[in-house]
């Protein structure tokens, strides 16, 4: 079991007083002020560090794609992983703009990937089974994925010295898997959880709804590990493990869009305290993301009508996180300004 401790809020009033005492009108920076307090509580120090940031993009394939739940074949997953490793994906461009490192985690891509310095081989199996017909994963595979994810987060923090982790995903068919997971963990009506994913016409959406309805009818699973086994993806389970690992190491984790938020919801259902460590980046245009955010008790920082994945939204909030930390570490106290002690 990955254990996450709740935030120690004994210093919250003192840190809030530090923020209130900065050279600015009281409350003038709105939610950035609350974010600054939260970052300090997460790290347990009044001067939180957010300089070094790592995006982990978890990649995996889905047996559900055999039933046509995506407009694209599963081979696109491996192709996009190669694009990420070549530094030519949207996530790479965004990471360059905000000063973050990117690594791709092969959680369950249905192909053999060539070694690469930015590729982490954590493959549990080559894709999931077809959840329309059978459980997507065994319970042992879910546990292995969770442990791998937690270990990656711990290594990034404790051995490599990253201050902030961000999570994203790449996996054709994973919006279908996430819809089923959200349906059970929110819980919410299945139709409210199903969106176009990477793109569907009306016929494709009708097919996707039919396939997922049959998959949902196959199992009444509602406990988080069982839900991940019946309907989850390896990238979703491993991402949930990484979120738990970040919380266990007392580091903030930036959560991207619909699939990432569903993974965070699974982590929260496993360890409710981890919600304190999750910074939800944006409200995706993907159907179901608003439901996932509500279920996670989250209010995202941005709403840009994005629905790409890859961690792109998580990267865009990194400057806001650094700015919030800078409020505590770089802004003068109002008393010093008034007394001319600059």
Kindly report, residue by residue over 180-192, the tens digit of the pLDDT.
999 999 999 999 9
How buried is residue 13: exposed, middle or buried, by Cβ count under 10 Å (0-12/13-18/19+)? exposed
Beta bridge partners of 278: 253
Is residue 3 in a domain?
Answer: no
Is residue 185 in a domain?
Answer: yes
41 and 125 together in one domain: no
Question: Catalytic pick from 33, 143, 169, 310?
Answer: 310
Total structural domains in the chain? 2
List the CATH number of the domain containing 44: 1.10.1610.10
Is residue 317 in a domain?
Answer: no
Question: From CA 169, how far away is CA 186, in angstroms rounded?
Answer: 20
What is the rounded average pLDDT for all residues in the chain?
A: 96
142 and 42 together in one domain: no
pTM exceeds 0.95, yes or no: yes
pLDDT at 342: 84
115 and 40 together in one domain: no
Taking only the tens place, the pLDDT of each residue in 288-335 is: 999 999 999 999 999 999 999 999 999 999 999 999 999 999 999 999
310 belongs to the catalytic site: yes
177 and 34 together in one domain: no
130 and 189 together in one domain: yes
162 and 262 together in one domain: yes
Taking only the tens place, the pLDDT of each residue in 85-140 is: 999 999 999 999 999 999 999 999 999 999 999 999 999 999 999 999 999 999 99
Domain that holds residue 32: 9-48+326-339
Percent above pLDDT 70 for the chain: 99
List the CATH number of the domain containing 69: 3.40.50.10210
For the chain, give the longest Cα–Cα distance.
72
- The number of C-alpha atoms within 13 Å of 102 and in the hemisphere containing its C-beta is 29
44 and 58 together in one domain: no
Considering only CA atoms, which of 228, 251, 299 is closest in space to residue 30? 299
Is residue 224 in a domain?
Answer: yes
Question: From CA 109, how far away is CA 123, in angstroms rounded?
Answer: 7
Is residue 315 in a domain?
Answer: no
């Amino acid at each position: 079991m990955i254990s996450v401790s709740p935030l120690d809020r004994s210093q919250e009033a003192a840190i809030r007083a530090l923020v209130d005492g900065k050279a600015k009108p009281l409350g003038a920076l709105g939610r950035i002020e609350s974010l600054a307090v939260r970052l300090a509580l997460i790290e347990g120090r009044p001067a939180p560090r957010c300089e070094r940031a790592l995006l982990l993009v978890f990649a995996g394939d889905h047996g559900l794609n055999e039933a046509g739940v995506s407009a694209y074949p599963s081979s696109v997953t491996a192709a996009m992983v190669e694009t990420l490793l070549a530094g030519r994906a949207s996530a790479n461009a965004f990471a360059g703009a905000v000063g973050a490192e990117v690594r791709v985690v092969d959680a369950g891509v249905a192909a053999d990937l060539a070694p690469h310095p930015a590729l982490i081989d954590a493959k549990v199996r080559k894709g999931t089974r077809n959840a329309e017909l059978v459980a997507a994963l065994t319970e042992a595979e879910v546990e292995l994925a969770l442990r791998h994810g937690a270990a990656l987060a711990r290594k990034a923090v404790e051995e490599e010295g990253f201050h902030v982790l961000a999570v994203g995903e790449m996996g054709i068919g994973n919006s279908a898997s996430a819809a089923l997971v959200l349906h059970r963990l929110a819980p919410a009506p299945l139709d409210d959880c199903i969106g176009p994913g990477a793109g569907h016409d009306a016929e494709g959406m009708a097919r996707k709804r039919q396939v997922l309805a049959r998959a949902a009818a196959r199992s009444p699973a509602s406990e988080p590990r069982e839900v991940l086994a019946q309907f989850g993806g390896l990238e979703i389970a491993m991402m949930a493990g990484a979120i738990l690992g970040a919380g266990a190491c007392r580091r903030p984790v930036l959560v991207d869009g619909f699939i990432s938020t569903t993974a965070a919801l699974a982590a929260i259902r496993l360890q409710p305290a981890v919600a304190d460590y999750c910074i939800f980046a944006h409200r995706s245009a993907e159907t179901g993301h608003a439901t996932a955010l509500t279920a996670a008790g989250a209010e995202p920082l941005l709403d840009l009508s994005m629905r790409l994945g890859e961690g792109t939204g998580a990267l865009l909030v990194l400057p806001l996180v650094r700015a919030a930390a800078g409020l505590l570490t770089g802004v003068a106290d109002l008393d010093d300004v008034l007394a001319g002690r600059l």
